[in-house]
């Protein structure tokens, strides 16, 4: 089974990570690095995919960044874990829908570890809990190496994520786990970004078929 490296960036501006993703994608295409997962939290920003730009979606009172992933408008900010898979997909997974479905399964497995029941909606990609969208997914591919990824709303502030009408959905469709009452896992541990991250790490091998390990600083010099 192949290895996948996890790169923790902590809190990092979207624009900085956007450029880093492109460089890592190029290196993965050239096999200079192995498959990589970026775990990051962005300062508050709303990213607009090409569809949102074409539809002239208006987002007020938020900083905006026009990006090149699939999907519409997506909020990023504190209390949200963002995961970017820089992965070379092969065989049956050379399918956009197949990769999205696999990432949905991964998020759902992590929620299950925490005792949270979640599900997919056939009409809209992502993962849902109690009628609300908790996980959004938007990707970009080049030579079947993915860039961009998924965001999971854990304990987002105020009503910031709820006020964004993303992907043609009404305000309030997106929310976070804490606002739905999921503040502790089934062992009584607090559900925060770190807990969801740990659950993704725990289920990575089973769902993605790759053994996770962490980058050492020297690994990133290539």
Give, for 11, the enclosing helix (H) or strand (E). strand 3-11
Between the alpha carbon of residue 195 and those of residues 13, 53, 143, 209, the distances in Å are: 22, 34, 33, 21
Indicate which residue of 167, 176, 183, 204 is catalytic.
Answer: 167
Between the alpha carbon of residue 193 and those of residues 80, 133, 157, 190, the distances in Å are: 7, 17, 13, 10
Six-digit token pair at 29? 């295409």
167 is an active site residue: yes
- Cβ atoms of residues 164 and 171 within 8 Å: yes
Task: Fill in the DSSP letter of residue 25.
Answer: H
- Residues recognised as catalytic: 167
């Amino acid at each position: 089974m192949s290895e996948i490296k996890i790169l923790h960036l902590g809190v990092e501006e979207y624009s900085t990570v956007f450029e880093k993703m492109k460089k890592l994608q190029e290196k993965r295409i050239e096999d200079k690095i192995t498959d990589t997962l970026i775990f990051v939290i962005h300062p508050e920003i709303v990213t607009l995919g090409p569809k949102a730009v074409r539809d002239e979606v208006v987002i007020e009172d938020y900083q905006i960044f026009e990006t090149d992933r699939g999907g519409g408008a997506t909020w990023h900010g504190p209390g949200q874990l963002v995961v970017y898979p820089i992965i070379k997909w092969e065989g049956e997974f050379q399918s956009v829908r197949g990769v999205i479905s696999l990432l949905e399964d991964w998020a759902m497995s992590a929620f299950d570890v925490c005792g949270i029941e979640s599900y997919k909606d056939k009409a809209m990609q992502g993962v849902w809990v109690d009628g609300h969208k908790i996980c959004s997914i938007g990707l970009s591919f080049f030579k079947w190496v993915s860039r961009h990824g998924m965001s999971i709303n854990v304990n987002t502030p105020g009503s910031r994520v709820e006020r964004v009408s993303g992907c043609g959905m009404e305000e309030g469709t997106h929310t976070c786990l804490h606002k739905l009452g999921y503040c502790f896992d089934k062992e009584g541990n607090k559900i925060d970004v770190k807990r969801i991250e740990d659950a993704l790490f725990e289920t990575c091998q089973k769902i993605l078929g790759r053994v996770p390990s962490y980058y050492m600083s020297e690994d990133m010099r290539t």
